[in-house]
């Protein structure tokens, strides 16, 4: 018998930089926009997603690095880079991506759209009748809301709100010859792209950017002055909240105060049109106190998130084929809906969104619980939900019907804080017991517990998922959810809600892994068990699907597994700090990334030696494992684990279209040209359609 492989010391340079890895992820989003096999408006959509992604990256990640640099915190990243070194690399990489992003639109997408009579034009491209009509539109709808702000000794430089689109204008007094600077904010409460055609059902769809319309009428704003030049610019500000959580202060009030401060965060990026004059740029840098390294020059339109307007066009031939999520077979008998409670008494159900309908599974679970006279209590965590949430409506109905309803509303859900404050107050007014979680921790888990009286028995029904209770994103995000009446899981969720709402300090559970104490430890212990099985000569393997893989302890456990001969297969949507395929370190590890029409969002792990499948809300990141309440649950039913294995097999199929991570950090498209290519999401659509 051969001796087991020895585990070598792990090298210091064993991690990729997480921020640069994120930029690589957004580059993969951009690659979808460049992919000519994608429908044209889907490509435009990916350009819009790239733009929004990059905004958030600067508002949070770059802002955090700048804060550490400015405060003198010499905290180096896992790959040994200082904040300043990371910012320098980000600047170079981001500028390259922005130029590619703009050129993809200008040179590829825009010309193709014009072939289908969808155009974005300049003022000079319009004929006289269109100009006259748009001038009237400007006078009636735009001019009244514009406020040109002059800069002179009596008027200080105006505050520029984050992500607003602005015109920097130089005007001259024809009498004295004195030149002045003025700023005009482009309104964000009217469509960015102004439709030129009167007939909205016309075969053509021509749009004029709003800033073009305003620029063409600047003389109306500065009557009697000469307009010398005008340029578009945009500022991104630090939007990362720092709430000082004190038990003696109302968290809701503290958060509202911080949200007001967010508007005035320091600038972290200045986007300017690449045609901006040097002296205008120097003025903006000086007045906004922006470092020249934080300037991003953009060819063409700034902020291509406006392309969502084009995506809203009724042009089905330019989009993916529409599909209607199917009701999971367990919840219907022919055309007749089936009681969720009756179904779960027969066994667990695994739902896979968006292929399985959210509204006829998870949403129906909460709605039936709200309407059922035998239900005594509903307890649920809400991290993000939609503007018109049927889940919130159901909880309100349940409370008004006299049920005990507890909603843990996570006020600190980034960029959804204001919406969650609204939900919290609405639920409180209806009599729902609203709590905000634990001091110092975000509650990120996706859990619901229903307590039902059934004769002389109290039975608990549970949902634990990987995605938010949001019907809108459930049609766009790929997620997994387990619905179960398993008593041990019900006991665990009861204990967890006692932790969230009371003073319980429970750290161990029967059937769940719960962060911040249990997820990392549970994962690493199971990796070590796979290593032990490999040393015994038994079959082993680890398969992981996550959004991000950054946590050093988890990564190091995978390295040790690889050195012990355990195959490790990773599917990661976004950031990956692990270096695969490195001889002596990770030659048994493969990492691939799958992007498509749906956002791959589920987190699950399979330990093949022990044959354990776990699903839950946690990514393998410090914030998830140390500073959040996260839940992972074991899926035990063989029929359900078979479904998870089928999904894993499709993800890992050599023919599946993906990107594979190389030891040098490069993401290579796979499979190679000329090979048979499968689309994982199309395969899931086919399988779930057949099952339904």
Q: Tell me how long the chain is.
A: 692
Evaluate if residue 246 carries a pLDDT over 60. no
Evaluate if residue 241 carries a pLDDT over 50. yes
Evaluate if residue 414 carries a pLDDT over 80. no
Per-residue confidence (pLDDT) for residue 59, from 0 to 100: 92
Per-residue confidence (pLDDT) for residue 244, from 0 to 100: 53
DSSP string, 316-383: GGGSPPP--PBPPGGGEETTEE--HHHHHHH--EEEEETTB-STTTHHHHHHHHHH-TTEEEEEEEES
Q: Just list the catalytic residues.
A: 444
For the ranges 154-163, 275-284, 656-665, the lowest mean pLDDT is seen at 154-163
For the ranges 132-141, 182-191, 327-336, 467-476, the lowest mean pLDDT is seen at 327-336
Q: Which two tokens stand for residue 246?
A: 């004190």
Q: Which of 197, 202, 151 is CA-nearest to residue 178?
A: 151
Evaluate if residue 474 carries a pLDDT over 80. yes
Per-residue b or e along 456-480, where b marks 16 or more CB atoms closer than 10 Å to that residue's CB: eeebbbbbbbbbbbbbebbbebbbb
For the ranges 262-271, 546-555, 647-656, the lowest mean pLDDT is seen at 262-271
Per-residue confidence (pLDDT) for residue 200, from 0 to 100: 74
pLDDT per position as a tens digit, 418-458: 888 888 888 999 999 999 877 788 999 999 999 999 999 99
pTM over 0.85: yes
Once rounded to an integer, what is the mean pLDDT over residues 664-673? Answer: 91
How far is Cα 73 from Cα 392, in angstroms, rounded to an integer? Answer: 42
Per-residue confidence (pLDDT) for residue 325, from 0 to 100: 94
Per-residue confidence (pLDDT) for residue 4, from 0 to 100: 46
The H or E element containing residue 29 is helix 18-34
Once rounded to an integer, what is the mean pLDDT over residues 277-294? Answer: 94
pLDDT per position as a tens digit, 593-629: 999 999 999 999 999 999 999 999 999 999 999 999 9
Which of 607 and 239 is assigned the larger pLDDT?
A: 607
Once rounded to an integer, what is the mean pLDDT over residues 476-483? Answer: 97
Q: Kindly indicate the confidence band of residue 258, based on its pLDDT and cuts at 50, 70 and 90.
A: low
Portion of the chain with pLDDT greater than 90, in percent: 79
pLDDT per position as a tens digit, 335-390: 678 899 999 999 999 999 999 999 999 999 999 999 999 999 999 999 888 767 89
Q: Which of 362, 556, 623, 558 is CA-nearest to residue 471?
A: 362
Q: What is the sign of the dihedral through the CA atoms of 289, 416, 439 and 633?
A: negative
- Residue 219's Cα: distance from chain center in Å? 42
Q: Kindly indicate the confidence band of residue 675, based on its pLDDT and cuts at 50, 70 and 90.
A: confident
For the ranges 75-84, 130-139, 548-557, 640-649, the lowest mean pLDDT is seen at 75-84
Q: Which two tokens stand for residue 335?
A: 């055309």
Per the prediction, the chain carries an average pLDDT of 92
Per-residue confidence (pLDDT) for residue 251, from 0 to 100: 60
How far is Cα 96 from Cα 120, in angstroms, rounded to an integer? Answer: 24
Per-residue confidence (pLDDT) for residue 263, from 0 to 100: 66
Specify the 3-state DSSP secondary structure of 247: coil
pLDDT per position as a tens digit, 489-530: 999 999 999 999 987 788 899 999 999 999 999 999 999 999
How far is Cα 478 from Cα 615, in angstroms, rounded to an integer? Answer: 13
């Amino acid at each position: 018998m051969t001796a087991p492989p020895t585990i070598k010391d792990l090298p210091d340079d064993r991690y990729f930089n997480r921020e640069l890895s994120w930029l690589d992820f957004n580059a993969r989003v951009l690659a979808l926009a460049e992919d000519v096999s994608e429908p044209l408006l889907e490509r435009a959509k990916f350009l819009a997603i790239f733009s929004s992604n990059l905004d958030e990256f600067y508002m949070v990640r770059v802002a955090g690095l700048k804060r550490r640099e400015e405060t003198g915190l010499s905290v180096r990243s896992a790959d040994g880079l200082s904040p300043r070194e990371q910012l320098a690399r980000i600047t170079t990489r981001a500028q390259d991506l922005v130029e590619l992003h703009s050129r993809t639109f200008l040179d590829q997408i825009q010309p193709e759209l014009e072939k289908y009579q969808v155009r974005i034009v300049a003022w000079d491209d319009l004929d006289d009748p269109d100009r006259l009509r748009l001038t009237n539109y400007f006078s009636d709808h735009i001019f009244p809301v514009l406020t040109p702000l002059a800069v002179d000794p009596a008027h200080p430089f105006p505050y520029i709100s984050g992500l607003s689109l602005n015109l920097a204008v130089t005007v001259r007094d024809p009498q004295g010859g004195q030149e002045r600077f003025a700023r005009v904010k482009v309104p964000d409460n009217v469509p960015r792209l102004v439709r030129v055609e009167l007939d909205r059902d016309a075969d053509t769809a021509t749009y004029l950017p709003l800033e073009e319309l305003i620029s063409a009428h600047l003389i109306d704003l500065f009557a009697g002055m000469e307009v010398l030049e005008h340029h578009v610019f945009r500022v991104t500000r630090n939007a990362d909240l720092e709430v000082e959580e004190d038990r003696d202060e109302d968290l809701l009030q503290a958060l509202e105060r911080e949200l007001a401060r967010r508007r005035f965060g320091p600038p972290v990026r200045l986007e300017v049109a690449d045609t901006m004059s040097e002296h205008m740029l120097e003025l903006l840098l000086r007045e906004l106190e922006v470092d020249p390294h934080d300037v991003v020059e953009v060819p063409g339109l700034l902020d291509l998130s406006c392309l969502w307007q084009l995506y809203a066009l009724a042009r089905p031939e330019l989009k993916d084929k529409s599909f209607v999520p199917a009701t999971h077979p367990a919840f219907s008998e022919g055309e007749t809906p089936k009681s969720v409670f009756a179904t779960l008494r027969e066994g667990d159900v695994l739902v896979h969104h968006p292929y399985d309908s959210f509204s006829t599974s998870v949403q129906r679970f909460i709605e039936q619980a709200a309407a059922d006279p035998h239900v005594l209590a509903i307890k649920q965590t809400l991290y993000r939900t939609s503007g018109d949430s049927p889940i919130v409506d159901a909880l309100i109905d349940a409370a008004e019907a006299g049920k005990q309803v507890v909603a843990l509303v996570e006020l600190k859900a980034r960029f959804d804080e204001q919406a969650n404050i609204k939900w919290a107050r609405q639920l409180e007014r209806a009599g729902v017991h609203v709590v905000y979680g634990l001091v110092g921790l975000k509650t990120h888990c996706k859990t619901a517990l229903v307590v039902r009286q059934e004769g002389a028995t109290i039975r608990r029904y549970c949902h634990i998922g990987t995605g938010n209770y949001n019907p809108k994103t459930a049609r766009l995000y790929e997620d997994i959810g387990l619905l179960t009446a398993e008593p041990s899981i019900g006991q665990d969720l009861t204990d967890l809600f006692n932790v969230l709402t009371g003073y319980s300090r429970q750290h161990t559970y029967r059937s769940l892994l719960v962060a911040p104490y249990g997820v990392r430890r549970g994962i690493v212990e199971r990796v070590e068990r796979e290593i032990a099985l490999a040393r015994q000569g038994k079959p082993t393997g680890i398969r992981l699907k996550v959004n991000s893989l950054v946590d050093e302890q988890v990564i190091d456990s995978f390295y040790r597994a690889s050195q012990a001969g355990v195959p490790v297969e990773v599917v990661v949507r976004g950031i990956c700090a692990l270096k695969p395929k490195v001889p002596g370190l990770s030659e048994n590890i493969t990492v691939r990334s799958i992007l498509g029409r749906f956002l791959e969002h589920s987190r699950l792990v399979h330990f093949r030696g022990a044959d354990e499948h776990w699903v839950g809300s946690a990514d393998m990141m410090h914030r998830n494992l140390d500073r959040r309440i996260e839940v992972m649950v074991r899926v035990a039913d063989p029929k359900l684990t078979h479904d998870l294995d089928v999904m894993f097999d499709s993800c890992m199929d050599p023919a599946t279209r993906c990107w594979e991570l190389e030891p040098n950090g490069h993401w290579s498209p796979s499979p190679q040209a000329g090979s048979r290519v499968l689309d994982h999401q199309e395969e899931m659509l086919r399988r779930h359609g057949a099952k339904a």
